[in-house]
């Protein structure tokens, strides 16, 4: 194999590796996953805000319910005591007075409880709605993460195989062309050589000057020249 053909195969090997790496690093699933995670972050922020508003009101409602229950239980006890009491008129009057007071307080507590419920219910509905909206997104995130992991594993295996082939292609290029190729690749990345297409270096995409293009076309067989712009070895 002559050095020109060996360089061509090395360029193709490096470009295939770059293509597969780009495919791995720019999976459409990654873009979708980023969108899903952004939505979830926003929902989490909304949930925290809604929960912060709900918590003190819900706590107050729970306290009001306990107070209402306690007063109702006391009223029941007083009513039972009044019904079974054999005490004098003054004692019965005191029990009756306390019963009326407790019932009035229980009524006020129940009214306050109902008012709090009217405030709590829409807040609870908001929290439920946010959680319901988040559930399918959480599921989709898991699916995307699994798909990405599977695709990455497959593409990494392909890259490893391509890199192994690249070693053979690299070794097939004799010096000094291999050293020139490596130096150019270190400077510009991806590959150390490029093809001339329609008068342009397909590495940097810049058109060759007329004199450079003429020199390239009339170079001696087996000779190579470098792109004046990017420094890659130019191949026909």
- Whether pLDDT at 1 is above 60: no
| CA within 13 Å, CB half, 172 | 17
pLDDT in tens, 21-68: 999 999 999 999 999 999 999 999 999 999 999 999 999 889 888 988
At 126-165, the pLDDT tens digits run: 999 999 999 999 999 999 999 999 999 999 999 999 999 9
Q: Under CATH, which number does the domain 3-173 receive?
A: 1.10.287.1490
| Domain positions in the chain | 3-173, 178-235
Q: pTM value?
A: 0.72
* CA trace torsion 165, 171, 10, 201 (10° rounding): 160
Tens digits of per-residue pLDDT, 47-59? 999 999 999 999 9
Q: How far is CA 77 from CA 98, 103, 133, 219, in A?
A: 11, 12, 48, 113
């Amino acid at each position: 194999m002559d050095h020109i053909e060996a360089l061509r195969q090395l360029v193709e090997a490096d470009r295939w590796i770059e293509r597969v790496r780009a495919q791995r690093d720019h999976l459409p699933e990654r873009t979708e996953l980023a969108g899903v995670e952004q939505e979830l972050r926003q929902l989490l922020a909304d949930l925290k805000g809604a929960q912060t508003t709900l918590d003190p009101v819900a706590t107050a409602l729970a306290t009001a319910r306990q107070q209402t229950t306690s007063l109702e239980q006391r009223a029941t006890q007083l009513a039972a005591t009044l019904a079974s009491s054999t005490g004098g008129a003054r004692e019965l009057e005191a029990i009756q007075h306390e019963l009326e007071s407790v019932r009035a307080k229980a009524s006020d507590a129940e009214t306050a409880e109902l008012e709090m419920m009217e405030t709590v219910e829409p807040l609870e509905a908001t929290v439920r709605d946010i959680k319901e909206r988040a559930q399918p997104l959480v599921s989709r995130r898991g699916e995307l993460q699994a798909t990405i992991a599977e695709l990455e594993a497959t593409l990494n295996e392909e890259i490893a195989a391509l890199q192994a082939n690249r070693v053979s292609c690299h070794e097939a290029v004799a010096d000094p062309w291999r050293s020139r190729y490596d130096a150019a690749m270190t400077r510009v990345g991806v590959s150390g050589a490029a093809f001339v297409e329609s008068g342009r270096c397909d590495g940097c995409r810049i058109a060759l000057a007329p004199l450079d293009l003429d020199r390239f076309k009339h170079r001696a067989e087996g000779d190579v020249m470098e792109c004046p712009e990017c420094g890659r070895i130019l191949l026909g």
